[in-house]
Amino acid sequence: MTHPLQLTPDGRLRHLLTVEGLSRPLLTDILDQAERYAGQPSSNRGSSGSRGLKVPLLHGKTVVNLFFEASTRTRMTFELAAKRLSADVLNLQIAASSTSKGETLLDTLKTMEAMQVDMFVIRHEASGAAHFFAQHAAPEVAILNAGDGRHAHPTQALLDMFTIRRHRPDFENLTVAIVGDILHSRVARSDIHALRILGAKEIRVVGPRTLIPAGIEAMGVTVHNDIDSGLADADVVILLRLQKERMVGAFLPSTGEFHRDFGLTKARLETLKPDVLVMHPGPINRGVEIEGDVAYGERSLILEQVEHGIAVRMAVMGMILGDEGAAA
Amino acid sequence: MTHPLQLTPDGRLRHLLTVEGLSRPLLTDILDQAERYAGQPSSNRGSSGSRGLKVPLLHGKTVVNLFFEASTRTRMTFELAAKRLSADVLNLQIAASSTSKGETLLDTLKTMEAMQVDMFVIRHEASGAAHFFAQHAAPEVAILNAGDGRHAHPTQALLDMFTIRRHRPDFENLTVAIVGDILHSRVARSDIHALRILGAKEIRVVGPRTLIPAGIEAMGVTVHNDIDSGLADADVVILLRLQKERMVGAFLPSTGEFHRDFGLTKARLETLKPDVLVMHPGPINRGVEIEGDVAYGERSLILEQVEHGIAVRMAVMGMILGDEGAAA
Amino acid sequence: MTHPLQLTPDGRLRHLLTVEGLSRPLLTDILDQAERYAGQPSSNRGSSGSRGLKVPLLHGKTVVNLFFEASTRTRMTFELAAKRLSADVLNLQIAASSTSKGETLLDTLKTMEAMQVDMFVIRHEASGAAHFFAQHAAPEVAILNAGDGRHAHPTQALLDMFTIRRHRPDFENLTVAIVGDILHSRVARSDIHALRILGAKEIRVVGPRTLIPAGIEAMGVTVHNDIDSGLADADVVILLRLQKERMVGAFLPSTGEFHRDFGLTKARLETLKPDVLVMHPGPINRGVEIEGDVAYGERSLILEQVEHGIAVRMAVMGMILGDEGAAA
């Protein structure tokens, strides 16, 4: 399935709604653009390492963060990315309940379009919300999906790929294990698409049966309900955040049991490849998906992921809205 | 009644509190200034039509949106206008209850004046709040009324006039019908003042008896309790938003009945002049004041109103705070 | 006790956590830098007095206001200071309860550091919170304490000193009385440290026994439980805000009684030195610590304090983050 909705007729990025259907050259181009904004790899960086770079690329453009689901941290990354490109940024937090009907969403979109907003960064609890906005957006307005329901979180996947590539550009050799609540995770879906586009050797999903959707093998992954087999020989381990509201009940007996069975403990880490890369989209639940010592240990790339998230979001915004961008 | 409070001794704009008492030349000057910031009329605009224009006029100035009444949408328009003029903008949402006493309001004003704020954009549920602030403001501080109780909403009236003028600059030939809850509407009051200043031929207020204030004829309008007589031969129809908290009860039997009797349906629209202009300050209540198809139909100027709202607010801010402005 | 944590090895400001332990030259240097940003003393200022000055010193830097305790007014002063230095500013209001555990605070700090934030302005209800952040901050990240529990509020003390110095630079001749709830006041602690560093002749704390901490004489102050003896011959009176939640109960019989016994009334003011300076960190409780007429009377410096607060915060941010700053 392709998503031409997010591409211009000549194949450039017009919206970013999902990783699914992006070509390898386009996805690679995004990562290459992000290199312009990311600092030197931290191992090469002196103690006076340069901080965030500010460029005038989007001066005069307006970006609105339209969040129907609260996420201070994700909102910050988009706000920082836009401000470092010199765009004007407005933050709107809207209770999803008050705009649940499609036509009310449309009124909101049309009204803000009329205010000459150039880009909407949209987070919504409903899968498909970003597509809905993109389908109805005026030609000069771009939509950036910041997470829609269980569906997609494309900038998270792009920053994950960027982070992996900095350490292991040889995707064709990589075995990647995605661990935890696959069922509810838009991050898992987007990461799987991105890893397949980049040609990862093997993609595994690892978790309890209740948290792995039936038929996910069709996405080109193997399923492991046992963590030890799931992590054996893995080059990259991507842990997913367990949402608190789903931690206990129908899906899970207890968070303690989850940690015992699927958490990345220090002891478990020592059984893995010595150069394994440990990732997590954050914020972490210490003692659930991951032990605190592991999260800030030497194999962890969690803070690099955050840092790269700004660069990747700058790249996407710049490609869509910049002078040579599709919507410029 | 004149309002010299908002004018300098030589007749320039110092605050904007109300449309009442503005001279026709000054009101026209505001609309002319707004033409500098508004895009080309949409009919003349290519698909690559330029978006919001950013100018350095208010670089170094500080505008504070001081909202005692929540209105995300209105706040956004002022925030965008100020940012496109390169001002620094701070948003403050204050619960009116916590500052209900006049002296506490004054403490807030004096404190923020001391922070060298140049302009306060004030929305308050109490009629007269903006005047109160202007009466006590320091000489170098400007007040912009973003809606005070039932009293005035001057920038809304100005953007309405701007929008009408783009289509029908011949105010002396225009019959304008304002429809709905006139009683509680600051928009209606401000529009009536503006239309009279610009010399509209006839101004009608149309609505149920319970929602039309007694004695409003003194403002120079005619009253219609029947929509068909009210809209007959009208050149412009301005629908007002029905506030939800007033929809049912003492004033109205039901929103369905209101829609039947006073809503602008497609069927009713077809009985009107073929070139009638349909306007609404937004956000619309679909199926109450207006049918959804009419709101986005070809006679509707609702989205133009939103767009022009930014330009008009930029014009007012620039005239007051810009290099040649009264408070510069 | 020194606090080298906030200084670089060569004695420049790296964080600002507390006034305690600052040398007189460094504290004086901050006040001198603030003179660059403060307007002319109001007595010398024409009616067209220049408003806030905008300079490009921190262009490209990112300042995050991280408030775990709500304070719109204080947040505004830091936001304005950073914007007038051309920094990008993000505001985060975080419920303290959701991040009460130290390791969760650390996750927040580390995550935001990874976003290449240059400075965190931190307000927290726990004494020591700013130190905790500074202890764990990366080398390129600065912490500015905007008030932590009962411990310190250094920028408030600096702006108080700046304000006093503009009127009375002869600290060695000054008797300063700090009046009210000393027990819970971080402002009192920070002011006492600053006044001692600048060599004030005499520092008195004045209040009911229940609101004066035992052993405070060790800080170099004298204790007065009677307001008339406390204010006799005082050159400066600093009134403290009485927090509402502490107004009545274990500490105080009633606010009326407090006002009678310790409030600065017009009658009481007339018994003081004719050139006494009256100060209050704001927001004032009229009729509790101070009578309204006194607050805006000719001896009051309350609004000057607000104005100087912006200049002092600009100075501190510029010294830490500017081109010659410790963290630049």
In contact, B195 and B189? CB cutoff 8 Å: no
Chain C contact present for B103, CB below 8 A: yes
Chain A contact present for B54, CB below 8 A: yes
Enumerate neighbours of C (3 or more CB pairs within 8 A).
Answer: A, B
- Same structural domain, C143 and C262: no
In contact, C315 and C324? CB cutoff 8 Å: no
Residue whose pair of structure tokens reads 């009264």 in the numeric block? B326
Percent of the residues in chain A that have a pLDDT greater than 90, as a whole number? 79
- Same structural domain, C13 and C142: yes
Beta bridge partners of C88: C62
Q: How far, in Å, are A220, C179, C224, C282 from residue C231 at the CA level?
A: 80, 9, 9, 20
Buried b / exposed e over B282-321, threshold 16 CB at 10 Å, is bbbbbebbbbeebbbeebbbbbbbbbbbbbbbbbbbbbbb
Are the beta carbons of A286 and C113 separated by less than 8 Å? Answer: no
Extract the tokens encoding A276: 């394994």
Q: What is the 3-state secondary structure (H, E, C) of A56-82?
A: CCCCCCEEEEEECCCCHHHHHHHHHHH
Q: Which residues of A touch C88 (CB under 8 A)?
A: 54, 80, 83-84
- Same structural domain, A245 and A266: yes
Q: Closest by alpha carbon to B141, among C283, C77, C49, C304?
A: C49
| Residue C62 lies inside a defined structural domain of this protein | yes
Are the beta carbons of B114 and C307 separated by less than 8 Å? Answer: yes
Beta bridge partners of C176: C203, C236
Q: Which residues of A touch C321 (CB under 8 A)?
A: none
pTM of the model: 0.92
Question: Residues near B185 by Cβ (< 8 Å), separated by ≥ 6?
Answer: B150, B240
In this structure, chain C runs to a length of 328
Chain A contact present for B292, CB below 8 A: yes
Q: What average pLDDT score do residues A30-48 get?
A: 72
Predicted pLDDT at B154:
98
Percent of the residues in chain B that have a pLDDT greater than 70, as a whole number? 90
- DSSP-based three-state secondary structure for C152: strand
Q: What angle do CA B14, B144, A114 make, to 5 degrees?
A: 125
CATH number at residue C52: 3.40.50.1370
Extract the tokens encoding B144: 């912009």
Contacts 24+ apart (CB under 8 A), B38-43: B38/B162, B38/B307, B38/B308, B38/B311, B39/A116, B39/B307, B41/B166, B42/B304
In contact, A27 and A197? CB cutoff 8 Å: yes
| Residue A327 lies inside a defined structural domain of this protein | no
DSSP H helices in B38-101:
72-84
- Same structural domain, A93 and A197: no
- Same structural domain, C71 and C94: yes
Q: What average pLDDT score do residues C183-197 get?
A: 97
Predicted pLDDT at C48:
40
Percent of the residues in chain A that have a pLDDT greater than 70, as a whole number? 90
Are the beta carbons of B114 and C306 separated by less than 8 Å? Answer: yes
> pLDDT (tens digit, 9 = 90+) per residue, B280-304?
999 999 999 999 999 999 999 999 9
> pLDDT (tens digit, 9 = 90+) per residue, C235-280?
999 999 998 766 666 788 788 899 999 999 999 999 999 999 999 9
Predicted pLDDT at C43:
46
Predicted pLDDT at B1:
43
Residue whose pair of structure tokens reads 């992000």 in the numeric block? A34
CA A240 to chain centre: 11
In contact, A260 and A207? CB cutoff 8 Å: no
Q: Closest by alpha carbon to C109, among C141, C87, C83?
A: C141
Per-residue confidence at B101, pLDDT binned at 50, 70, 90? low
Please give the Cα distance from C263 to C260 (Å, whole number).
6
Are the beta carbons of A88 and B54 separated by less than 8 Å? Answer: yes
Beta bridge partners of A145: A122
> pLDDT (tens digit, 9 = 90+) per residue, A161-175?
999 999 999 999 999
Predicted pLDDT at C313:
98
> pLDDT (tens digit, 9 = 90+) per residue, B181-239?
999 999 999 999 999 999 999 999 999 999 999 999 999 999 999 999 999 999 999 99
Range of the domain at C32: 4-153+308-321
- Same structural domain, C143 and C276: no
> pLDDT (tens digit, 9 = 90+) per residue, C160-172?
999 999 999 999 9
Q: Strand (E) positions, C7-109?
A: 62-67, 88-93
Could you give phi then psi for residue A13, rounded to 5 degrees?
A: -75, 125
**What is the number of CB-based contacts under 8 A between chain A and chain C?**
59
> pLDDT (tens digit, 9 = 90+) per residue, C135-161?
999 999 999 999 999 999 999 999 999
Residue whose pair of structure tokens reads 């403060």 in the numeric block? C38
Are the beta carbons of B62 and C52 separated by less than 8 Å? Answer: yes
pLDDT at B98 over 60: no
Residue of B nearest to A105 (CA): B283
In contact, C149 and C122? CB cutoff 8 Å: no
| Residue B35 lies inside a defined structural domain of this protein | yes
DSSP A78-138: HHHHHHHTT-EEEEEE--GGGG-SHHHHHHHHHHHHHTT--EEEEEESSTTHHHHHHHH--
> pLDDT (tens digit, 9 = 90+) per residue, A102-151?
677 888 899 999 999 999 999 999 999 999 999 999 999 999 999 999 99
DSSP H helices in A170-301:
186-197, 227-231, 255-262, 266-269, 292-295
Measured distance between the N- and C-terminal CA atoms of chain A, rounded to whole angstroms: 27
- Give the one of B49, B77, B296 whose C-beta lies nearest to A115's C-beta: B77
| Residue A180 lies inside a defined structural domain of this protein | yes
CA C113 to chain centre: 26
- Same structural domain, B170 and B181: yes
Are the beta carbons of B304 and A139 separated by less than 8 Å? Answer: no
| Residue B253 lies inside a defined structural domain of this protein | yes
Predicted pLDDT at C230:
98
Residue whose pair of structure tokens reads 């332990």 in the numeric block? C21
B residues 154-173 closer than 8 Å to A (CB):
none
| Residue C328 lies inside a defined structural domain of this protein | no
Please give the Cα distance from B127 to C224 (Å, whole number).
48
- Same structural domain, A96 and A128: yes
Per-residue confidence at B32, pLDDT binned at 50, 70, 90? very high
What count of other Cβ atoms lies within 10 Å of the Cβ of residue C142? 27
DSSP H helices in C53-206:
72-84, 102-114, 129-136, 154-167, 186-197
Closest chain B C-alpha to C48 CA, distance in angstroms? 7
- Same structural domain, B205 and B106: no
In this structure, chain B runs to a length of 328
Are the beta carbons of B140 and C48 separated by less than 8 Å? Answer: yes
Please give the Cα distance from A263 to A239 (Å, whole number).
9
In contact, C235 and C173? CB cutoff 8 Å: yes
| Residue A326 lies inside a defined structural domain of this protein | no
Q: Which residue has the higher pLDDT, C49 or B206?
A: B206
> Which H or E run includes C307?
helix C302-321
Please give the Cα distance from C101 to A301 (Å, whole number).
23
> pLDDT (tens digit, 9 = 90+) per residue, C287-328?
999 999 999 999 999 999 999 999 999 999 999 999 766 655
Chain C contact present for B107, CB below 8 A: yes
Q: Closest by alpha carbon to C87, among C54, C116, C119, C58?
A: C58
Please give the Cα distance from B301 to B45 (Å, whole number).
16
What count of other Cβ atoms lies within 10 Å of the Cβ of residue C155? 27
Question: Residues near B84 by Cβ (< 8 Å), separated by ≥ 6?
Answer: A88, B37, B52, B53, B54, B55, B310, B314
- Same structural domain, A285 and A317: no
Parallel/antiparallel/unpaired status of strands B175-179 and B142-148:
unpaired
Please give the Cα distance from A153 to A148 (Å, whole number).
7
Could you give phi then psi for residue C148, rounded to 5 degrees?
A: -130, 110
> pLDDT (tens digit, 9 = 90+) per residue, A274-295?
999 999 999 899 999 999 999 9
Beta bridge partners of B144: B16, B121
> pLDDT (tens digit, 9 = 90+) per residue, A245-254?
666 667 887 8
> pLDDT (tens digit, 9 = 90+) per residue, B50-76?
466 899 999 999 999 999 988 888 999
DSSP C99-141: G-SHHHHHHHHHHHHHTT--EEEEEESSTTHHHHHHHH--TT-
Name the average pLDDT for chain C: 91
Closest chain C C-alpha to A199 CA, distance in angstroms? 29
Q: What average pLDDT score do residues A34-46 get?
A: 70
DSSP B256-325: HHHHHHH-B-HHHHTTS-TT-EEE--S---BTTTB-HHHHTSTTB-HHHHHHHHHHHHHHHHHHHHSTTS
Number of domains in chain B: 2
Name the average pLDDT for chain A: 91
In contact, B284 and B259? CB cutoff 8 Å: no
> pLDDT (tens digit, 9 = 90+) per residue, C113-138?
999 999 999 999 999 999 999 999 99
- Same structural domain, B229 and B283: yes
- Same structural domain, C101 and C174: no
In this structure, chain A runs to a length of 328
Dihedral angle, C-alpha C133, C138, C144, C145, nearest 10 °: 10
C residues 61-100 closer than 8 Å to B (CB):
72-73, 76-77, 79-80, 83-84
Predicted pLDDT at A252:
80
Predicted pLDDT at C1:
43
In contact, B118 and B62? CB cutoff 8 Å: yes
Name the average pLDDT for chain B: 91
Which amino acid is located at A275 in the chain? D
What single DSSP character describes residue B176?
E
Residue whose pair of structure tokens reads 């009279």 in the numeric block? B196
| Residue C326 lies inside a defined structural domain of this protein | no
Are the beta carbons of A54 and C103 separated by less than 8 Å? Answer: no
DSSP H helices in B85-183:
102-114, 129-136, 154-167
What count of other Cβ atoms lies within 10 Å of the Cβ of residue A260? 11
